[in-house]
Structure 1
């Protein structure tokens, strides 16, 4: 959602953000805006909050800040093109293209700076602190959120000195050392507890802070959910403070209890509606970033991920930034959730060059043409590729995630409906679609895993995980199997259910990469990518939907198993911590020699 801000006020707030509040002279400089003259009321402080939320929107308005997520076992990227940074993360290598590390670092620190500014300038208001608790809560939360991302991506990072909250973090000086991982986590917890003390509402009144069934601003349950996740991270790698699983279980239980008592969140009955553009403001989402594509151009108010999941070989102008890992797809359990997370078929488009007639056919991602038909099809499309290399209908030869995708009408305009893979896809690069950072289903998984690992609330934890599975599977026996699980089995099941819930959602707060990082399983991903990859992905006998040389649909049965090796040859050796973290941006290292491990 667009945060409405008057242009002049945005300019004034952004200009003030370039200088520390504590740096202003005590004199009264005539004709100049200072915090003493500008910020006099609660309404004035909202200017700084608007500036903060502009940075939140800018943080994820394109895919660069999510490149690190290619380290997860759920996603990979297109070979070649402009995807060098994505493929470096996929291979656990230091990137030559620095757009991912640069943008992620810079945007996190912009959020921190904007949050600091709110907290610093609030001191100049002549109002009781309770009157601005809502604004303070937003600032404490988003600062913690940014540091939470930083510490899981880089490990030790600089912290803003408490005595100078508005430190110019765009130019970190060499006198600011890196805090240890534990120090950063303690800082995050302190901020989240401060946000809790602000007593944020569970539901905001309708308007700019609440739309449909969802909160736009950070709510009480968003703070508690994040704190539960942070405690789980502290219990895992690298701190390994296992007793923090009990704290995570306690905090997640507060959210679950509030939902049970007051219905402040809910699980959608149909998984296909989770990422639906037609049901964009549902209250399963606990924390989201809202966009409003008013400008139609690349800007902080536009979500620009609609083509990121779409393979480049589809006729919709897909970017192929985040393609599905075939192995993860093959192990993903069948059911309504898999049918919603992945496109069951891909839409093939053919056009008669004489009549201009367009035909569509729904085709499996692994579908092939027979050699002669494929050669004829290639020739008719004036291509000169070596037809012996592949007879794949789609050159990407991968399943497709659907979380960012939106359907289009005959004029190519986006449709506000649940996504249907059998219909044309919206090819525009800007859209006002919400980014979902935390969903209630995730909190149920966190509650179940943290409880199982700490030995607390086992009965309630099993009930929570059964709710998640009940929507995801068609087989009731899979749901009922939870009752007989040991604590270790329950923890592992909850861990995996969370990974299935967030697969492909690279913009979430806790992704498959973050889950594997916490349990030191990123090496497993690396080992698979450098290994033989000889697993059967599609067994023989599977009925396949394909197209012939004329683009007409037909079916055939696989005569042999499909065993695929990844296109990209991943080489190298595992380097432990160096492989798990990203490199510091070289330009920042030049400014601050303390950026080292």
Structure 2
């Protein structure tokens, strides 16, 4: 028995597409428009594409879907409040707070269902399928994107039915077995190849598909870039099919060659512009999610990351969901990139610009038990960590956001929402992927070195870091490119390939765990007066720095490494109840 389900408006489409993967709707279609009357033109199909992009926006409108990224060695979270889920990921433990597990699972499957809906709707149209390339390409791409996230977070997961308009009631999603990791990757590649066959443009000509210098819709270069990343993942853990590095190098080279052929500035000359709100729509971003804060309140079209991602701690007033790991910060290469990724100083409520390790009274750092029994210090910041600036925005005297390059010495915007783009793939990342995959496969070595030089030339203060690439062996080049990518995406838990995903591919998450179960006391800060910290009047603000930043006991990680069960999320318990196939 099959029942036709065809919403007659975008609202109904959204209602269909925002349920969990196991809640495929069946309903009596009386009074609704039928597929024969609704889907006649490309404009009709655009309704379904709009609904797809609404789900893409909802996927990252708050921080819950990014909690798993706390496994990476670049980020951690603060203690207390509602951070149990973040700290569980940080400690590689099964969470007691399931918001990260539940939200990420449901939003990925929302995107999959919305993508399948577009593809299914197209079947009812009388137009030549070749005329629907832009719409179909979006659906194939985002479906692949969602499964790519699922397989790296959970491993084996179910593949949802592709027909969502005509649902076979005998094929209950609760009973769908999990596809293997290899089956999932093959399905992802198949979807991306289908998107490639849609002949998407390299750049779109007008809004809403194009804004400023950047594409809003998925472009040909976004598809090729993601294919390169997927091939690299297939070459690494857990499949370990090393021959896929050659395919990754080929695909990444297509993107690099296309950029050269266009002869358009793609890599921004200044790193401070990469996350700049004043230059939000730049074309170094190959794939992004666009938000509009005009509603003034929380919603799928508002990015909330100004509060939950970057401000992080008093006095910036953020939620502190994602804070910087001190050890990663200490290893991070000096230069314009580090100065843009991390705040050099913090502006206190008293108008002082101080370092993150500053004390409030000029005395050496100390920790004592307060009257409430909790640890108390004389640190300016209770979290005692550097802060990322990727979603920090300055404000004017009225508190309104300013569209300028961020300056950590000036007042910060403290609003709850912002129409700022989330950057999922940048061209600098593709250059790193090209260099690493080429080095690991032994292909295009000279071009790979030139690609890595482009990245380092913009990022480092020391020119020797660039010239050193010429003398690298293939293994050295691969490792350098791997690390360079992690430096490029540090703190950007929104990206398609984060530090966590790099370390997952290279089986290095256990190294992160081993560090975190230790005392974490090897981040040394030299004692003395730091002259760039100053009061609002420009006078030196003197304090003594702590020499050994020992992590408080309540933030130290305990437990044992559990292999696969440590690197993967647990399946959402409610989904396990519905589908007994969700087990390891």
Q: For this structure pair, what is the TM-score category when the shorter chain's length is used for normalisation?
A: over 0.9
- The answer to whether the 8 A contact 1:349-1:551 is kept is no
What residue number does 2:3 align with? Answer: none
Q: Structure 1 residues 562 and 167 mapped into 2: Cα distance closer, same or farther (>3 Å)?
A: farther
Q: Quote how far apart the aligned CAs of 1:505 are.
A: 0.2
CA distance in 2, matches of 1:342, 1:465: 22
Asked if residue 368 in structure 1 is aligned to residue 359 in structure 2, the reply is yes
Secondary structure of residue in 1 paired with 2:233: helix
Match of 1:580 among 548, 567, 571: 567
Please list, as runs of the form range in 1=range in 2, the aligned pairs for 1:243-282 lying within 5 A after superposition: 243-263=243-263, 266-282=266-282
CA distance in 2, matches of 1:540, 1:335: 22
CA distance in 2, matches of 1:515, 1:502: 10
- The answer to whether the 8 A contact 1:546-1:556 is kept is no
What residue number does 1:101 align with? Answer: 101
What residue number does 1:71 align with? Answer: 71
Q: Structure 1 residues 114 and 231 mapped into 2: Cα distance closer, same or farther (>3 Å)?
A: same
What residue number does 1:4 align with? Answer: none
Secondary structure of residue in 2 paired with 1:137: helix
Q: Quote how far apart the aligned CAs of 1:259 are.
A: 0.3
What residue number does 1:60 align with? Answer: 60
What residue number does 2:206 align with? Answer: 206
Q: Structure 1 residues 478 and 44 mapped into 2: Cα distance closer, same or farther (>3 Å)?
A: same
CA distance in 1, matches of 2:352, 2:310: 17
- The answer to whether the 8 A contact 2:313-2:319 is kept is no
- The answer to whether the 8 A contact 1:361-1:553 is kept is no
Q: Structure 1 residues 373 and 517 mapped into 2: Cα distance closer, same or farther (>3 Å)?
A: closer
Q: Quote how far apart the aligned CAs of 1:319 are.
A: 0.6
CA distance in 1, matches of 2:362, 2:462: 40
Q: Quote how far apart the aligned CAs of 1:537 are.
A: 2.8
CA distance in 1, matches of 2:187, 2:302: 32
Secondary structure of residue in 2 paired with 1:185: helix
Q: Quote how far apart the aligned CAs of 1:9 are.
A: 3.5
Q: Quote how far apart the aligned CAs of 1:166 are.
A: 6.8
- Normalising to structure 2: TM-score of the pair? 0.92
- The answer to whether the 8 A contact 2:144-2:191 is kept is yes
CA distance in 2, matches of 1:126, 1:369: 71
Q: Structure 1 residues 552 and 587 mapped into 2: Cα distance closer, same or farther (>3 Å)?
A: farther
What residue number does 1:353 align with? Answer: none
CA distance in 2, matches of 1:369, 1:348: 11
Match of 1:487 among 474, 480, 494: 474
Q: Structure 1 residues 254 and 388 mapped into 2: Cα distance closer, same or farther (>3 Å)?
A: closer
- The answer to whether the 8 A contact 2:216-2:289 is kept is yes
CA RMSD of aligned residues (A): 2.8
What residue number does 1:181 align with? Answer: 181
CA distance in 2, matches of 1:331, 1:107: 35
Asked if residue 570 in structure 1 is aligned to residue 561 in structure 2, the reply is no
Q: Quote how far apart the aligned CAs of 1:36 are.
A: 1.8
Please list, as runs of the form range in 1=range in 2, the aligned pairs for 1:585-596 lying within 5 A after superposition: 585-596=572-583
Please list, as runs of the form range in 1=range in 2, the aligned pairs for 1:330-341 lying within 5 A after superposition: 330-341=330-341
CA distance in 1, matches of 2:163, 2:172: 16
Unaligned stretches of 5+ in structure 1? 1-6, 351-359, 376-382
Secondary structure of residue in 2 paired with 1:349: coil
- Normalising to structure 1: TM-score of the pair? 0.90
Per-residue Cα deviation, 1:183-226 (whole angstroms, up to 9, x for no partner): 00000000000000000000101111001000000000000000
- The answer to whether the 8 A contact 2:359-2:543 is kept is no
Q: Structure 1 residues 18 and 444 mapped into 2: Cα distance closer, same or farther (>3 Å)?
A: closer
What residue number does 2:4 align with? Answer: none
CA distance in 2, matches of 1:433, 1:18: 23
Secondary structure of residue in 2 paired with 1:218: coil
CA distance in 2, matches of 1:237, 1:40: 45
What residue number does 2:124 align with? Answer: 124
CA distance in 2, matches of 1:167, 1:503: 43
- The answer to whether the 8 A contact 1:113-1:168 is kept is no
Asked if residue 306 in structure 1 is aligned to residue 306 in structure 2, the reply is yes
- The answer to whether the 8 A contact 1:71-1:89 is kept is yes
Please list, as runs of the form range in 1=range in 2, the aligned pairs for 1:225-236 lying within 5 A after superposition: 225-236=225-236
CA distance in 2, matches of 1:85, 1:387: 21
Q: Structure 1 residues 480 and 198 mapped into 2: Cα distance closer, same or farther (>3 Å)?
A: same
CA distance in 1, matches of 2:38, 2:206: 28
Secondary structure of residue in 1 paired with 2:527: coil
Please list, as runs of the form range in 1=range in 2, the aligned pairs for 1:282-321 lying within 5 A after superposition: 282-311=282-311, 313-321=313-321
CA distance in 2, matches of 1:302, 1:168: 36
CA distance in 2, matches of 1:100, 1:387: 28
- The answer to whether the 8 A contact 2:18-2:110 is kept is no
Per-residue Cα deviation, 1:377-397 (whole angstroms, up to 9, x for no partner): xxxxxx977898422122121
- The answer to whether the 8 A contact 1:172-1:588 is kept is no
Q: Quote how far apart the aligned CAs of 1:562 are.
A: 3.2
Secondary structure of residue in 2 paired with 1:437: strand
Q: Quote how far apart the aligned CAs of 1:34 are.
A: 1.8
Secondary structure of residue in 2 paired with 1:286: strand
CA distance in 1, matches of 2:119, 2:24: 10
Q: Structure 1 residues 98 and 481 mapped into 2: Cα distance closer, same or farther (>3 Å)?
A: same
What residue number does 2:435 align with? Answer: 448
CA distance in 2, matches of 1:452, 1:74: 25
Match of 1:526 among 493, 513, 521: 513
Q: Quote how far apart the aligned CAs of 1:167 are.
A: 5.9
CA distance in 2, matches of 1:92, 1:17: 32
CA distance in 2, matches of 1:209, 1:11: 21
- The answer to whether the 8 A contact 1:67-1:85 is kept is yes
CA distance in 1, matches of 2:549, 2:456: 29
Asked if residue 399 in structure 1 is aligned to residue 386 in structure 2, the reply is yes
